[in-house]
Amino acid sequence: MNVKAILLASFSLIALYFLGIGVLSWGYPFQVAGAAFAALLHIGIIWGILGGRDWSIGLGKYVSFLDLIFSILWMMLGVIPQGAALFALSTLNLILLSDEEVEARILGRE
């Protein structure tokens, strides 16, 4: 099982999710800026994981936790399908990034 590919796919889907929110919110500049920032943050994590950089693991955990919190809030507000998808992807990211073997694979120690 290639966990690095799973992480890259998951963070890519979340980045696309936020880019889509930005496109759909085109008339609202603050929402577009926020969605673009979130998407670029996830793309930066993808870049860090691809390069085997140590900072990508810590930042990935932190951002995945924030995604998890916001997905729960969105589901409480009634945005069920989108919130559930973000919840599943961010939970997957948190579980994988918390494993020492996955960390070793990302950093190239294995």
Residue range 13-46, pLDDT digits in tens: 999 999 999 999 999 999 999 999 999 999 999 9
Residue 24 CA neighbour count, 13 Å, CB half:
7
Angle between helix 80-97 and helix 3-24 axes, rounded to 10 deg: 150
Q: Alpha-carbon distance 81 to 92, whole Å? A: 17
Residue type for position 49: I
Model pLDDT for residues 58-88, shown as the tens digit of each residue: 999 999 999 999 999 999 998 889 899 999 9
Amino acid 100: pLDDT: 93
Q: Which residues contact 4 (CB under 8 A, 6 or more apart)?
A: 49, 102, 105, 106
Q: What integer pLDDT is reported at residue 108 of this predicted model?
A: 86
- Biggest distance spanned by C-alpha atoms of the chain: 48
State the alpha helices, DSSP H only, in 25-78: 29-51, 55-76
Over residues 1-8, the mean pLDDT reads: 89
Average pLDDT over residues 46-55: 95
Report the predicted TM-score, pTM, of the whole model to 2 decimal places. Answer: 0.92
Total domain count for the chain?
1
Band (109; pLDDT cuts 50, 70, 90): confident
pLDDT band at 1; cut points 50, 70, 90: low
Q: What is the DSSP letter of 109?
A: -
Cβ-based neighbours of 93, under 8 Å, separated by 6 or more:
7, 10, 11, 14, 60, 64, 67
Range of the domain at 50: 3-107
